[in-house]
Structure 1
């Protein structure tokens, strides 16, 4: 494994610790709203490390998705700076190492090719 890959892998681990802080910034109401929307197939995780809207979503759900993604973006940016990589790479690595594994059976995610896939 190259040094760069080790740094990126280390950044993903660091995201776990920092991610807890971002998760606390997300209100429990936003989390509940997004979790329900994931179960209904309205939103899902994306290979770029962010939550995406798959079907029609009301303003409240879109605001919750935006707030979640803004929190994630800040975490990814910090991690990328520490690892000497880009925010986009840190975000994609988080999807690969953590977020995809959390997608439950029946939920949807958007793969790197941009296709929505149901688990």
Structure 2
């Protein structure tokens, strides 16, 4: 049981570091930044750990693809280091990203509906 608690604790520390990486993920290659897209209600966080589009324009979709690919790579690294699945890491990150979304930002709830915080 102690070994499991140590593994969970290590996983949570890794997940917290991952969350910082995800939040700081650089989208400088795009004219549209992640913060701009969130404030313009073009994207929202989901419990899956990945961004989803609210608006379907090409610029928004390109930004989402870029950010989500980076997130997936980070989730895979954390998963390998902690001997858990990538989906487990993504879901944990998703819960934290949704919980930490700023007032006015959009998140997709458990029921799949968009909610503004």
Query: Could you say which TM-score interval applies, normalised by the shorter chain?
Result: 0.7 to 0.9
Question: What corresponds to 2:86 in structure 1?
Answer: 87
TM-score, normalized by length of structure 1? 0.78
| In 1, Cα distance between equivalents of 2:67 and 2:31 | 8
Match of 2:36 in 1: 36
Shift of 1:28: 5.7
Count of residues paired in the alignment: 113
Q: Contact 2:32/2:59 (CA < 8 Å) preserved in 1? A: no
* RMSD after superposition: 2.4
Inter-partner Cα distance in structure 2 for 1:16 and 1:105: 19
Superposition deviation, residue 13 in structure 1: 2.4
Deviations along 1:6-61, one digit per CA (max 9) or x if unpaired, are 243122123146x16x714x3263562x322211222101111111012x321121
Residues in 1 aligned to 2:28 and 2:110: alpha-carbon distance in whole angstroms: 29
Name 1:112's counterpart in structure 2: 110
Q: Which runs of 4+ in 1 moved over 4 A?
A: none
Q: Is the 8 A contact 2:51 2:68 kept in 1?
A: yes
Residue of structure 1 equivalent to 2:59:
60
User: Unpaired runs of 5+ in structure 1?
Assistant: none
Which segments of 5 or more consecutive residues in structure 2 lack a partner in the other structure? none
